[in-house]
Amino acid sequence: MSPRPLFADVSSRLAARSHWHPLEVAFWLAAIATIYALPSRHLILTEIAILGLFALSLDLILGYAGIVSLGHAAFFGFGAYAAGLLAKHGLVTEPLLALIASGLAAMVLGFATSFLVLRGSDLTRIMVTLGVAVVLREIANRYAGLTGGADGLQGVEITPLFGLFRFDIFGHTAYCYALGVLLVLFLVARRIVHSSFGLSLLAIKGNPLRAAAVGIPVNARLVAIYTIAAGYAGVAGALLTQTTAFASLSVFDFDRSADLLLVLVIGGAGYLYGGLIGAIVFKLMQDYLSSLTPQYWPFWIGLLLVALVLVGRERMTSWTRPIRALAARLDWRDARGRAAIPAEGR
């Protein structure tokens, strides 16, 4: 093979990683269509969008960098309270600006705690992330004068978006807002994971020893993605506050971090859509189960988790594989793993 065709081949293969599959386009078209097609369901759709963004943030660190976090709610809650306080005290009245500010605040927290997850084993990371979330909850509880304590943050008023769109009780504005934020942040995340940086994360996740031996500054990259993911989680939390005009200690609950893991596991980690698909499935399931047994639905969630692990996560989430295989076949340019290995002995 002479160099020029190989050059073209390499170039196109590297570029193919970031091409849009038709299914992706279909997904987002369908999502935008729900604005008009399902106006009565906008409230739950908003919740799904927020949960999806939250799950996306976890996917960035779990699916792409291999960091197991049991306290991701820390950043969600931090962003939630930041947005609430900004609105309540009239510091930043434009919701979008407050959203950005809350996300940045969560990023700062993420950066500050990132060094805690660099060292140690999976167990240490679980412990530390759990600890950070618990500490934050305690702080929020303790400084009830600021946060409203167990009663939650009262008197949060969200001014109309761009001064034009009032947050109505049917959730129309809320949904368009949340979906818009989700889409924009998703596009950015997509850019990130398909970049050289994103590739280096996969390397770190797969073999950190080798990654360092290739020249990748492992710790610096992990800090970077952890910070970004914290920002995403913070934005999700801020969205929750802004769309419900309320923030309570439950944003820091362990349940939230645990449910989030389940959401990501249902959809599958490591391809960005897992969190979104998982959010849809989880919320619908929760809605259904709550209507059956309002108080005891955590039992069924627990049962699902146990079953999921016993059956094997791979087999459980293999229901998404046909979808992914279909996507691969539709797009001839991305024949991942289907390259024929020539027989040895040439």
Partner 1 sequence: MALVLETVGLEKRFGGLVATNDVSLKVEKGSRHALIGPNGAGKTTLINLLTGVLRPTAGRILLDSRDITALKANARVKLGLTRTFQINQLFADLTPLETVSLAVAERLGAGADWWRPPGRRPQLVEEVAEILESFRLADVMNARTSVLPYGKQRLLEIAVAVASRPRVLLLDEPAAGVPEEERHAILDIVAALPQDVTVLLIEHDMDLVFRFAQRISVLVNGALFVEGTPEAIARDPRVKEVYLGEAAHA
Partner 2 sequence: MLTILFDGIAYGMLLFVLACGLAVTLGLMNFVNLAHGAFAMAGGYCCVILVNRWGVPFLAALPLAFLFSAALGLILERTLYVHVYRKSHLDQVLFTIGLVFMSVAAVDYTMGSSQTFVRLPPWLEGQFNVGGVGVGRYRLLIIVICGLLTLALQLTLARTRFGSRLRAAVDDARVARGLGINVGSVFALTFAFGSGLAGLGGALGAEILGLDPIFPLKYMIYFLIVVTVGGTSSITGPFLASLLLGIGDVAGKYYVPSLGAFVIYTIMIAVLILRPQGLFVRGGAR
Distance CA(265)–CA(256), nearest Å, equals 14
Nearer to partner 2, 163 or 206 (CB): 206
The single-letter DSSP state of residue 72 is T
What DSSP string runs through 277-302? HHHHHHHHHHHHHHHH-TTTHHHHHH
Distance CA(54)–CA(123), nearest Å, equals 22
Question: What's the min distance (Å) between Cβ of 220 and partner 1?
Answer: 8
- CA 151 to mean position of chain CA atoms: 27
Q: At what angle do helices 254-267 and 297-311 cross, to 10 degrees?
A: 50
Interacting residues toward partner 2 by CB under 8 A: 62, 68, 70, 115-116, 119-124, 126-128, 130-132, 134-135, 138-139, 142, 254-255, 258, 261-262, 265, 295-299, 301-310, 313
Site string for partner 1, 148-187 (x = CB under 8 A): ----------------------------------------
**Site for partner 1 contains 126 (CB under 8 A):** no
**Site for partner 1 contains 314 (CB under 8 A):** no
**Only segment of 78-86, 139-147, 164-172, 218-226 that touches partner 1 (CB under 8 A):** 218-226
Nearer to partner 2, 134 or 192 (CB): 134
What DSSP string runs through 242-270? HHHT-B-GGGG-HHHHHHHHHHHHHH-SS
Nearer to partner 2, 68 or 104 (CB): 68
Q: Where do we find the tokens 């027989």?
A: 343
Q: Which of partner 2, partner 1, none does 130 bind, CB closer than 5 to 8 A by kind?
A: partner 2
Interface residue with partner 1, options 22, 120, 217, 312 (CB under 8 A): 217
Distance CA(61)–CA(125), nearest Å, equals 12
**Quick one: which H or E segment has residue 196?**
helix 196-206
CB atoms within 10 A of CB 215: 7
Distance CA(90)–CA(97), nearest Å, equals 12
Which two three-digit tokens encode residue 305? 């988790």
Interface residue with partner 1, options 88, 221, 256, 283 (CB under 8 A): 221
Nearer to partner 2, 8 or 311 (CB): 311
**Site for partner 1 contains 318 (CB under 8 A):** no
Question: What's the min distance (Å) between Cβ of 178 and partner 1?
Answer: 25
The single-letter DSSP state of residue 17 is T
Q: Which of partner 1, partner 2, none does 196 bind, CB closer than 5 to 8 A by kind?
A: partner 1
**Site for partner 1 contains 192 (CB under 8 A):** yes
Point out which residues bind partner 1 (CB under 8 A): 1, 3, 6-7, 9-15, 17-18, 191-192, 194-200, 202-203, 206-207, 209-218, 220-221, 224, 335-337, 339, 341-342, 344-345
